[in-house]
Amino acid sequence: MRIGKVLLIGRPNVGKSTFVNNLIGQKVAITSPKPQTTRFSIKALYEDERGKIIFVDTPGIMGKTEDHLSQRINEKTLQIINEDVDLVLYIIDHTRKRDFEENKVLGLVRKINRPKILVINKIDSEDKSFLPQYKFLEDEFSSVFQISAINRTHVDPLLNKIFEYITEKSDEEIPKDLKYPILNIDSKIFISELIREKIFLMMGEEIPYRATVIVDEITERTDKLTYIRARILVTDDRYKKMVIGSLGRKIKEIGSYARKEIALAINKKVFLDLKVETDPHWQETYY
């Protein structure tokens, strides 16, 4: 059986998490149109009759890191890319201009001494393309694929190529802890990420970067009901008021959408006890 590890790297919002989710067939990483949605690496297992691949979805490398959170995300990503992997997928979004941030990521990719594939994502997009700015990269990579992660266009040929780089292992060499589909996050983190995704999708441009979610309790009340107690932490009281909304409408809306998705994920009814608290130091405490 072929067993291997594949690293996904790119700047924020190029579609790495969408690629992993659609390939695995289950949400393992949250997504939104806003950059910096992913804050830590997700390791997810793909398997078929050919073997098993651990995909390592990294947070996007940011060009500017002016706050503590951005600095920590970049630091963690730099640690991840030094892990031992079989293959690197360098994912770019051709609808965005090549800039300092992209050059920073490319510089890191060039330093990784592993086989690499260039993946040009969002070919389904009707936005203006800057593909000519990336044309020179084709000479630096052994293979180039143009895909749509959201529609799975050309993903199967890419997967076939990935398996060519994955080595055969004997039964004795196969790790016993490979579990589908999530390898490295527990239920509290997974649920907190689902709630945080709803904040990214339903709030304005600023608040998602001033908020995080902490799950304090998950209790099986009955065979059919799971109780979850969680807190949305924001850096300032004015953000707290905005997340709660007039007469508590916004927090109820966030909670309702999150509860439905959690219930779908765990196949049980969910009581979500969700509160908002102000903690100016949550970035230092939790990241």
Which tokens hold the place of 221?
Answer: 């009340």
Helix %, strand %, coil % of the chain (to 5): 40, 25, 35
Find out whether 82 is annotated in a ligand binding site: no
- Cα angle: 109, vertex 88, 16; to 5 degrees: 95
CA 269 – CA 225 distance, rounded (Å): 5
Find out whether 156 is annotated in a ligand binding site: no
CA 219 – CA 209 distance, rounded (Å): 29
Find out whether 48 is annotated in a ligand binding site: no
Find out whether 267 is annotated in a ligand binding site: no
Long-range contacts of 76-84 (CB under 8 A, 24+ apart): 76/40, 76/41, 77/9, 77/41, 78/108, 80/7, 80/41, 80/56, 81/7, 81/9, 81/108, 81/112, 83/5, 83/7, 83/56, 84/5
Find out whether 63 is annotated in a ligand binding site: no
Find out whether 52 is annotated in a ligand binding site: no
> 37 exposed, middle or buried (CB, 10 Å; 0-12, 13-18, 19+)?
buried
> Which of the 8 DSSP states describes residue 58?
P
Find out whether 250 is annotated in a ligand binding site: no
Find out whether 103 is annotated in a ligand binding site: no
Find out whether 61 is annotated in a ligand binding site: yes
Find out whether 59 is annotated in a ligand binding site: yes
Find out whether 184 is annotated in a ligand binding site: no
Find out whether 3 is annotated in a ligand binding site: no
Find out whether 16 is annotated in a ligand binding site: yes
Find out whether 17 is annotated in a ligand binding site: yes
CA atoms within 13 A on the CB side of 214: 13
As a residue count, the chain comes to 287
Binding-site members for GTP are 10-17, 57-61, 121-124
Annotated binding residues, as ranges?
Answer: 10-17, 57-61, 121-124
